[in-house]
Amino acid sequence: MTPYTLTADERELLISLTDAETDLCVTSSSPVWTRRLEKLARDLNIEVIHLNEHTIRCYVPRACLTLRLPPKPRHLTDDQRQAASQRMKTMRTTQRAPVAPSDAASSR
């Protein structure tokens, strides 16, 4: 395989769908999305079509596509942030202190 030569502007992910089709046509020339798409295709046992050295295409079920709103930002006061920090510290210390088998047997 030759070195990857596409620029950031040339690397793309295209998702095509029409009302008449039941599957999404996904084409990728981005290395990150290509790896994700190949893994999805393996998991779903779907054929991957290599269009050229850097671009692949496959047809995946519509159920694989979800569109979500980004999470809402949390606006905390300094007191709320401090309280949350303290709760996390308490949770971490209680999780790190496993009960030794001899301690558990003696407490019965």
pTM for this prediction: 0.63
> 90 or 1, which is more confident?
90
Domain contains 49: yes
H runs (alpha helix) in 27-107 = 31-44, 78-96, 101-106
pLDDT at 40 (0 to 100): 94
Domain contains 29: yes
Task: Determine the structural domain holding residue 37 and report its residue range.
Answer: 13-64
Domain contains 95: no
pLDDT band at residue 107 using 50, 70 and 90 as cut-offs: low
Domain contains 5: no
pLDDT at 70 (0 to 100): 92
Domain contains 21: yes
Domain contains 4: no
Domain contains 70: no
Residue 28, number of CB atoms within 10 A of its CB: 23
Specify the DSSP class assigned to residue 77: -
The Cα 47–Cα 63 span in angstroms is 17
Number of domains observed in the structure of the chain? 1
pLDDT at 94 (0 to 100): 85
Encode pLDDT of 40-92 as tens digits.
Answer: 999 999 999 999 988 999 999 999 999 999 999 989 999 999 999 999 999 98
pLDDT at position 16 over 60 = yes
Domain contains 17: yes
